[in-house]
């Protein structure tokens, strides 16, 4: 099994990736035959602002599980709007309009 085949099973997962002289947390968006589309997580607001296409031959390391990676996943998930908050916001907005 080569790297491309293995990374295909981690599409849409948050990982830590090191390539060339760069290392970032992000999500593997797509794994193609000759490139990997990687969405980088901005560490300040924990949102995706940058997408890079990486030649797989340039990848040195991909970490798929670690305590630090778990912390990033939890931080990203905690910033997602919950269904309860969305309902509360809709109620407040409807009350304002009445």
DSSP code, position 92 = H
Q: What is the pLDDT along the chain (98 residues), one digit of tens a residue?
A: 788 888 898 899 889 899 989 988 899 999 998 999 999 988 777 788 899 999 998 988 888 877 777 777 777 777 666 555 555 455 445 544 54
Tell me how far the alpha carbon of residue 17 is from its chain's centroid.
11
Which residues, in sequence order, are bridge partners of residue 27?
Answer: 14, 39
pTM (predicted TM-score): 0.70
Domains by residue range for the chain, with CATH: 3-97 (2.30.30.100)
- Count of Cβ atoms closer than 10 Å to residue 58 Cβ: 12
Q: Give the pLDDT confidence score for residue 81 in this predicted structure.
A: 62
């Amino acid at each position: 099994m080569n790297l491309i085949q293995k990374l295909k099973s981690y599409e849409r997962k948050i990982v830590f990736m090191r390539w060339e002289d760069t290392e970032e947390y992000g999500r593997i968006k797509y794994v193609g035959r000759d490139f990997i589309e990687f969405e980088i997580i901005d560490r300040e607001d924990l949102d995706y602002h940058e997408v890079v296409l990486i030649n797989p031959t340039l990848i040195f390391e991909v970490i798929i599980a670690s305590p630090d990676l778990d912390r990033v996943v939890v931080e990203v998930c905690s910033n997602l709007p919950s269904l309860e908050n969305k309902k509360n916001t809709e109620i407040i907005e409807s009350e304002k309009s009445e």
